[in-house]
Amino acid sequence: MQQIIRILLKIFPRPILIRISLVLNKVIALFLIGNKVECTVCKGKFRKFLPYGYTKATSRKNALCPRCLSLERHRLMYLYLQKETSFFTDNLKVLHIAPEQCFYKRFKQLSNLDYTTGDLESPIADVHFDIQDIPFENNCFDVVICNHVLEHVDNDKQAMQEIYRILKPNGFAILQVPQAVNNAKTLEDPTVTDPKERERLFLQKDHVRLYGLDYAERLEDVGFTVTANKYTQTFSVEEIKRYHSYSLFHNYSRL
Ligand SMILES: [Zn+2]
């Protein structure tokens, strides 16, 4: 099953996969109904989640919610927003860059949010732009969400500066990236353009770097106040198993 998912992810472009999954996932979800795992986003309860991953190195079992397509990091972020922030109650102006399938309709329906989505080309985005040149004024968003984007961007420092610029003072950003927790330094080399070599070094053929433990420093360099928040450690072993929501997690605030 893991291999089939890996092959499908490689063969089909993401927009087509999303369309296929919208039809298929309802059927698959019915087959997987149970009570061993629970999605924190759609509240679905299943025997297990589906496997997910583009490559052997990133492939894992029990990752993808068959109903809403959330992954571990999405389920953790949703819990974090619910339990640790006023995201679902305060009147907030939010920019969601590269909006994830499992989130954007839910967030759009929240009446407390002034919610805008942005992406280079995604048809579901409200505004199209390059993250290295964001077309919004300084200090205009309370929250910016931008997950698994910076590892694709040539000049990530400029992208970080742009996110910092558009955040209001005291605003916060959630900027999840793949991170090699055993590497002290970020691995990047702009001369590596061969897709196979990028996949070997940076985990995916369209990644231009693999962040190491210095990710927080790189954000601090552009002005962010970074709070290391190993949020998963606040959960019991049973909760981690049930939600499959383990992941490193940090806060990035403009203070
Ligand atoms: Zn779900």
Task: Summarize pLDDT for 168-178 with one digit per residue, the tens.
Answer: 999 999 998 98
Question: What is the three-class DSSP state of 97?
Answer: strand
Strands (E), the chain: 33-38, 45-46, 50-52, 60-64, 92-97, 113-119, 127-128, 141-146, 167-174, 187-188, 209-210, 225-228, 250-253
DSSP designation for 203? S
Average pLDDT over residues 175-191: 90
Rounded average pLDDT over 179-184: 86
**Residues linked to residue 225 through DSSP beta bridges, in sequence order:** 253
Q: How far does the centroid of ligand 1 lie from the alpha carbon of residue 46, in Å? A: 10
Give percent of the chain above pLDDT 70. 86
Task: Delimit the domains of the chain by residue range.
Answer: 2-72, 85-253
Q: Give pLDDT, residue 254.
A: 46
Is the model's pLDDT at 91 over the cut of 60? yes
Predicted pLDDT of residue 13: 67
Answer positive or negative: Cα dihedral of 181, 205, 161, 188: positive
The answer to whether 184 and 218 have CB atoms below 8 angstroms apart is no
Name which of 140-154, 175-189, 209-223 the model is least confident about. Answer: 175-189
Query: What percentage of the chain exceeds 90 in pLDDT?
Result: 53
- Write out pLDDT tens, residues 92-112: 999 999 999 899 999 999 999
At 17, is the pLDDT very low, low, confident or very high (cuts 50, 70, 90)? low
| Structure confidence by residue, pLDDT tens digits, 119-155 | 998 888 999 999 999 999 999 999 999 999 999 999 9
pLDDT in tens, 29-57: 777 888 899 999 999 999 999 888 777 76
Q: Name the CATH superfamily, with its identifier, for domain 85-253.
A: Vaccinia Virus protein VP39 (3.40.50.150)
Question: What distance in angstroms lies between residue 66's CA and the mean position of ligand 1's atoms?
Answer: 7
Distance 214 CA to ligand 1 centre (A): 32
Give pLDDT, residue 255. Answer: 37
Which residues contact residue 210 at a Cβ distance below 8 angstroms, ignoring those fewer than 6 apart?
Answer: 151, 178, 179, 180, 183, 186, 187, 188, 201, 202, 203
pLDDT for 27? 75
pLDDT of residue 233: 79
Matching residue, tokens 């890996």 = 6
Residues 6+ apart with CB under 8 A from 14: none
CA of 154 to the centre of ligand 1 (A): 32
Distance in Å, CA 203 to ligand 1 centroid? 25
Strand partners, 14: none
What local confidence, expressed as pLDDT, does residue 124 receive? 84
Cα torsion at 160, 165, 171, 176 (round to 10°)? -10
CA of 35 to the centre of ligand 1 (A): 13
pLDDT over threshold 60, residue 204? yes
Tell whether the model's pLDDT for residue 74 goes beyond 50. yes
40 alpha carbon – ligand 1 mean position (Å)? 7
Query: What element of type H or E holds 23?
Result: helix 14-32
pLDDT tops 50 at residue 234: yes
**φ/ψ (deg, to 5) at 106:** -65, -45
Please give the average per-residue pLDDT across 200-221, as a whole number: 91
Q: What is the mean pLDDT of residues 65-92?
A: 92
| 222 CB-near residues (< 8 Å, 6+ apart) | 157, 160, 161, 164
